[in-house]
Chains A and B, each alone.
Chain A
Amino acid sequence: MKQFIAFWKDLNLSARIGLVIVSFFAFCAIFAPWLAPYGESEIVGDVWEPIGGEFFFGTDQIGRDLLSRLIFGARNTMALAIVSTTVSFTAGAVLGFIAATMGGRVDQVLSRLVDVVISIPTLIASLIVLSAVGTATSTLILVIGIIYAMPVFRIARAVAMDIEVMDYVEAARLRGEGLWWLMSREILPNAMTPLAAEFGLRFCFVFLLIASLSFLGLGLQPPLADWGAMVRGNADGIAWGFMHPLIPAACIAALTIGINLLIDRWVFKASGLRDDQ
């Protein structure tokens, strides 16, 4: 608790706001089954019942409780984003470090391959692949992971290249250390700050990509709740003057902003503290 208070005191106002937003959504995601008043796909009322009536956020286009769907949606959307981002970082960083440490032909092959993949627009690439191989959750994770591994590869390689020329890496090479030691012990700890900052940003991108894919019908499949899909499902309501689609949209916006506020602080602290460490 003491540590948390010290941590809290260290944050500025915007970071505190970010932390509150992110913890709020994380709390919802973790305790979804206990928090949600109704089931994820339970039809409880009429179509688009008004906000603030019997149901807090009203009901959606087929009469499910919107609040419950939002809470379950937080769980699905965030979990998917975290897993996909982790996949892309593991693949991107490992390959990027290998390219930088080994150099030469390995670097050339990997880098050119990434250049090719990165030249295809993200959304189009994922649309093509997902419509071809289907939209199972595991496929979704894999496709998003691979697509976002490309920019991560570039960043990891660039960061590692700078570290790679330092004398301490040369000293490790002279000692006879293998590739794994060079990557995990010499390069990774020194690349952590930029990579972690990138992780946060990338998480937002992945989050938005999933939302857009769901909006287009290629993301998480019904009846699983997902914020992006909820915006799409309720979109028709706008024409009738219902505010329902704006609520999941606001959740997406709020979480994205919250994460970015936190990252800003992290990057600021990390760059300022670098000399003290």
Chain B
Amino acid sequence: MSEILLDVKDLLIEADIDGEWKPIVNHLSMTLHRGEILGLIGESGAGKSTFGLTALGYTKPGCRIVSGSINLDGVELVGQSDAELREIRGNKVAYVAQSAAASFNPAHTLAEQFAESPVQHGKMKMAEARKRSIELFRQLDLPDPEHIGERYPHQVSGGQLQRAMTAMALGSDPDIIIFDEPTTALDVTTQIEVLGAIKEAVKARNVAAIYISHDLAVVAQMADRIMVLRYGNLIEEGNAREMLANPRETYTKKLLNVRTVRESRYDHDKEDIQLKIENITARYPGTSVDVLKDINVDIIKGKTVAVVGESGSGKSTLARVITGLLPPGQGSVKFHGRELTAELRDRPKKDLQSIQMIYQMADVAMNPRHKIKDIIGRPLEFYLGVKGKAREQRVLDLLQHIELPVEYGERYPAQLSGGEKQRVCIARALAAEPELIICDEVTSALDQLVAEGILDLLLNLQKELNVSYLFITHDLATVKAIADEIVVMYQGAVVEQGTKAEILTPPYQPYTELLLSSVPEMDPDWLDDLVDRRKRGEAPTAESISS
């Protein structure tokens, strides 16, 4: 085993929560060897970011290091002055944040920002830094490495920006790089490219890395060793391969099993078409680009249609057309054979009631000043005229349905967790007694285990109430879990549609294959294999699709 680079011992970090100091990293230790990648995994609130950032000797505002030691290459970081820490941060440890777009200064070119740190630390001259940026941009597989540095952050894509940020982190030859969820905000296909580039660059330069993520499958690709954290405590630690093959703790097992495929017993029965989307073409007012091109989708009563695509594919716009928020340029939406009016304000109450919507961000989908019982109770009163005692009773029923305690009715949304909020949104949709619920990325803002719970709930409700879902998502794992039929969208058009069995069994349509192959698997060799196959041209890549 090579030398120990970072040695964190018995670290206790507390955070100021409502005026009280509470531990968020509870006596954790870690060691990091030169050239090793350590994965930190856990749900939100696990303390993984706080713990990972201690390698910089940094704590977020409102946090404090109470006890323990952080030894970086022989230097103790706890108790160092800010000036000394700054020296270490620039030279020895670099940081890649989740949102590269928010971390770059929009007013400077990539090359200028690349050069800033090494030039300021007196490590390089400007010209030297320029040469080095080109070299690293090339290594991270950025297009046109000689000139991409002249561009401004908004002129490159999200995935490219994330790679440029990694290049920047490598710029001053650090010993350690901390990656804090670097691919979480990216589409699956982009994620692969970034992961591949990061892994190659890190291995080639033999730097050590701490990789923080909530996604075990992603960490599995990157890390040599994994630490599973929960509520600031260590659940399990070990060699990545051993842990994936043989998890010891139940929590780790749960994390490993989240990506299950549910079977869909389903025969295509044309009699029962509930919603028929015919030849829809739409664009946003004041623009000249069609964001939806000739879309045809049928939704069958009591079944789930999943619309899959990356950001910009037009899948959310489709929901806006169905609900009447965006009148289409051409085509029609028929509900039980009757055409729905294009404009929301012309629709009769009955139509509005039949189609309900659940949003991605439950936080902003509920009025923060309304109590839960009023949020759920309003559709009851508005559509069904249920008032007073009857309304109260029905709200309690609905709360039980979504598996929340009845006393939650008196609470405000901010007093609930992310998963609980989404459950309330489901209850609000159910309260209207709809026939179709449009679910727009309802699980993508949630931790995996919480998302599982939401999907289970939706499936149970479907069985019980025979309600149909239009499920909009970018996450194929969700699709596999919940869909009966799948519609794959790319740049505003449908590239493939059919039953789950048809879409998910070979031979694949090339774009569907790209999407499917891009979903990280728990197998630690999956990424390397995929990158190899793509290089040999055996698997489709984003470039081969767009050309």
Contacts and interface: CB of A to CB of B under 8 A. Distances in A.
A166 B369 contact: no
Interface string B426-437: 001000100000
A105 interface: no
Q: Find the residue from B344, B347, B357, B369 having the highest chain A CB count within 10 A.
A: B369
A190 B369 contact: yes
Q: What bracket does the count of chain B residues touching chain A fall in? A: 20 to 34
B344 A173 contact: yes
A174 B325 contact: yes
Contact of B364 (A167, A176, A189, A276): A167
B323 A168 contact: no
A170 interface: yes
A238 B254 CA distance: 85
A176 B368 CA distance: 20
Interface string A154-194: 00000000000011101111111100000001100110000
Interface in A206-242: none
Given A176-B352, A189-B367, A190-B367, A171 B357 contact: yes
A170 B325 contact: yes
Interface in B365-422: 365-370, 378-379, 382-383, 412, 414
Contacts of A172: 367
Given A174-B352, A176-B347, A176-B352, A168 B378 contact: no
A277 interface: yes
Interface in B248-291: none
B60 interface: no
A220 to B, nearest CB: 39
B367 A176 contact: no
Interface string B490-509: 00000000000000000000
B361 interface: yes
Interface in B434-466: none
B349 interface: yes
A177 B367 CA distance: 14
B379 A167 contact: no
Contact of B378 (A174, A175, A189, A190): A175
B325 A276 contact: no
A276 B366 CA distance: 15
Contacts of A186: 367
Nearest to B363: A167
B366 A168 contact: yes
A144 B414 CA distance: 40
B352 A166 contact: no
Contact of A171 (B18, B347, B365, B369): B365
B359 interface: yes
Given A176-B352, A176-B382, A190 B368 contact: yes
Contacts of B379: 175
Classify the secondary structure of A's interface with B.
helix
Contact of B365 (A168, A176, A275, A277): A168
Contact of B352 (A167, A175, A190): A175
Contacts of A168: 364-367
A177 B370 CA distance: 16
B378 A277 contact: no
A166 B323 CA distance: 17
Contacts of B378: 175
Interface in B101-126: none
A190 to B, nearest CB: 6
B365 A177 contact: no
Interface in A248-277: 275-277
A185 B359 CA distance: 20
Contacts, number: 52
A171 B432 CA distance: 12
A268 B131 CA distance: 50
A174 B323 contact: yes
Interface string A65-105: 00000000000000000000000000000000000000000
Contacts of A170: 325
A276 B357 contact: no
A236 to B, nearest CB: 54
Given A175-B378, A176-B347, A176-B352, A167 B365 contact: yes
Q: Find the residue from A171, A175, A275 having the highest chain B CB count within 10 A.
A: A171
Contacts of A277: 368-369, 412, 414
Contacts of A166: 364
Contact of B357 (A174, A176, A189, A190): A174
Contacts of B412: 277
A172 B374 CA distance: 13
A190 B383 CA distance: 25
A167 B319 CA distance: 14
A185 B367 CA distance: 9
A172 to B, nearest CB: 8
A186 B382 CA distance: 15
A277 B357 CA distance: 25
Contact of B382 (A173, A177, A189, A275): A177
B352 A276 contact: no
A254 to B, nearest CB: 35
Contacts of A189: 367, 369-370
Nearest to B365: A167
Contact of B349 (A176, A185, A275, A276): A176
Nearest to B355: A174
B333 to A, nearest CB: 14
B367 A175 contact: no
Nearest to B364: A167
B346 to A, nearest CB: 11
A9 to B, nearest CB: 15
Contacts of B414: 275-277
Contacts of B428: 171
A170 B356 CA distance: 12
A172 B356 CA distance: 11
B45 to A, nearest CB: 16
Contacts of A176: 347, 349, 352, 382
Nearest to B382: A175
Nearest to B360: A167
Contacts of A190: 367-369
Q: Find the residue from A170, A189, A275, A276 having the highest chain B CB count within 10 A.
A: A170
A65 B289 CA distance: 77
A15 to B, nearest CB: 19
Contacts of A276: 18, 414
Nearest to B414: A277
A171 B367 CA distance: 10
Contacts of B366: 168, 171
Nearest to A170: B325
Query: Sorted from nearest, which 10 A-B pairs have the closest CB atoms?
Result: A189-B369, A167-B365, A176-B352, A168-B367, A167-B364, A167-B359, A166-B364, A168-B366, A176-B349, A174-B323
Interface of A: 166-168, 170-177, 185-186, 189-190, 275-277
30 contacts: A166-B364, A167-B359, A167-B361, A167-B364, A167-B365, A168-B364, A168-B365, A168-B366, A168-B367, A171-B359, A171-B365, A173-B325, A174-B324, A174-B325, A174-B357, A175-B352, A175-B379, A175-B382, A175-B383, A176-B349, A176-B352, A176-B382, A186-B367, A189-B367, A189-B370, A190-B368, A190-B369, A277-B368, A277-B369, A277-B414
Given A167-B365, A189-B369, A277-B414, 5 more contacts: A174-B324, A174-B352, A189-B367, A189-B370, A277-B368
